[in-house]
């Protein structure tokens, strides 16, 4: 209830501001405020109002767990009382590692950012934007799963000593590269196509 009392006025204020800039044709502030506001509101709603973050954690952990088994890594899926869904990495010479799927590993932040950026990107027609968004969100989820699999694989084959570097460097690098590809697909490529079409039309 408290969350609703906070989020509703903020959402209303945000919506009015975005509409103002849209009406005024001030596209830069429209885009910046619209995208960032939507991202923050999405995160807030998914964590405190809807069980969105939980659903993302469950889905991520579930997919990572089954994909790990497919790769020959016998992980274990646990959900302790705190609600964090975890995967326990396979023992590597009598080492067991618990990988907690928190907000960072759930992909929620990236999903919310992508949602805001694509929804309020004005250069692409609305229908096309929504189709692109659907695929981009799915690809972001899969990219996050791949990031987790990199960490699971590093721990399973390299031991607990590999956890830190896998978590901080390798997993993040893989996700970063995949995200660049997703943004290229969802924003850059359609923008280049739109700009290119306009240039041709004006030529």
Q: Which stretch binds other proteins (CB under 8 A): 17-25, 61-69, 166-174, 187-195?
A: 166-174
**Among residues 164, 184, 189, 198, the one that binds other proteins under rule CB under 8 A:** 164
Minimum Å distance from CB 88 to other proteins?
Answer: 7
Closer residue to other proteins, CB minimum distance, 19 or 164: 164
Contact between 119 and 30 under an 8 Å Cβ cutoff? The reply is no
Residue whose C-alpha is closest to residue 101's, from 72, 75, 128, 127: 75
Single out the residue of 1, 9, 28, 4 nearest to residue 121, CA to CA.
28
Q: Does 9 bind other proteins (CB under 8 A)?
A: no
149: which residues sit within 8 A by CB, 6+ positions away? 64, 67, 68, 71
Token pair listed for 53: 């973050």
Tokens 């109002």 map to which residue? 49
Question: Which helix (H) or strand (E) element contains residue 78?
Answer: strand 76-78
Spatial distance between the Cα atoms of 46 and 114, rounded to a whole number of angstroms: 15
Token pair recorded at residue 11? 């959402």
For other proteins, which stretch binds (CB under 8 A), given 15-23, 74-82, 139-147, 192-200? 74-82
Q: Compare residues 20 and 96 and give the one whose CB is closer to other proteins.
A: 96
How far apart are CB 97 and other proteins at their closest, in Å? 5
User: In whole angstroms, how close is the CB of 101 to other proteins at the nearest point?
Assistant: 9
Interface pattern 85-114 for other proteins (x via CB under 8 A): ---x--x--xxxxxxx-x-x----------
Dihedral sign, Cα of residue 21, residue 27, residue 29, residue 33: positive
Closest separation in Å from C-beta 64 to other proteins: 12
Site residues for other proteins per CB under 8 A: 78, 80-81, 88, 91, 94-100, 102, 104, 151, 160, 163-164, 167-168, 172
């Amino acid at each position: 209830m408290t969350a609703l009392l906070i989020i509703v006025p903020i959402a209303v204020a945000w919506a009015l501001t975005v509409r103002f800039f849209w009406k005024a044709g001030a596209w830069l502030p429209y885009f910046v405020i619209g995208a960032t506001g939507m991202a923050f509101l999405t995160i807030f709603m998914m964590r405190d109002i809807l069980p969105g973050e939980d659903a993302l954690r469950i889905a991520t952990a579930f997919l990572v767990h089954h994909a790990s088994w497919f790769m020959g890594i016998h992980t274990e899926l646990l959900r302790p009382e705190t609600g964090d869904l975890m995967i326990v990495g396979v023992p590597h010479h009598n080492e067991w590692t618990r990988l907690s799927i928190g907000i960072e590993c759930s992909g929620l932040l990236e999903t919310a950012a992508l949602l805001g950026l694509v929804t309020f990107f004005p250069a692409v027609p609305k229908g096309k934007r929504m189709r692109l968004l659907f695929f981009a969100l799915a690809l972001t989820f899969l990219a996050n799963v791949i990031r987790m699999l990199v960490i699971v694989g590093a721990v399973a084959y390299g031991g607990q000593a590999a956890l830190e570097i896998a978590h901080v460097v390798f997993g993040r690098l893989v996700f970063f590269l995949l995200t660049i590809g997703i943004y290229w697909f969802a924003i850059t490529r359609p923008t280049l196509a739109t700009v290119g079409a306009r240039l041709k039309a004006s030529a």
